[in-house]
Homo-oligomer: A and B are copies of this chain.
């Protein structure tokens, strides 16, 4: 390995710092989308009435939190970074940092929109979820064919494509349900999705 090349495969610490920044900002910006109801004497009622905003907030918070935990796990197995990995990571961060947008769209559509609007909103959210699945697929596929980037103890088989595929298909199904059957069910799936991940980690953790 030449010195120039070893330099380019530089340590992943600054990539993690940048990624942590994007994750933590995206997860914290979500709160800005919680609209403050116009103040009238039914203020408490209006606050409670925004429950869909809160559900969407929790779903998006959980989702970004799960993605961060996945990112944390993956990068703890990476020992070097090259330009191709940086770019795939950037695409992944794009799918993370855009999450506040469909979250706000859902909150807005459920507050004042018709059921058609709500269906459109959950589809928007599902598309972002699917894009996240695709970004993880790109990242994992890249790592599998570049074993020099991976910690030798780990091996490329660690980056199983099953999980990103489940994410991709899962959000796709949720979007279809939201569009053809019921936006409410889709919203419930968005909320439950991150929790499933917790269960899986726990059972795997033993």
- For A97, give its contact among B17, B28, B47 (CB under 8 Å): B28
- Selecting from A110-118, A135-143, A162-170, the interface stretch reads A110-118
- B93 near A27 (CB under 8 angstroms)? yes
Find chain B residues with CB under 8 A from A104 CB.
Answer: 36
Chain A residues engaging chain B, CB cutoff 8 angstroms: 3, 7-8, 10, 14-32, 34, 36, 39-41, 43-44, 47, 57-58, 61-62, 65, 68-69, 72, 76, 82-84, 86-87, 90, 93-94, 97-101, 104-105, 108-109, 111-114, 116-117, 119-121, 123-124, 153, 198, 201-202, 205
25 residue pairs bridging A and B, Cβ less than 8 Å apart: A7-B76, A14-B16, A17-B17, A22-B28, A25-B29, A26-B28, A28-B97, A29-B31, A34-B101, A36-B104, A39-B109, A41-B116, A41-B117, A43-B114, A43-B120, A43-B121, A44-B117, A44-B120, A47-B120, A61-B94, A62-B90, A65-B90, A69-B83, A84-B202, A84-B205
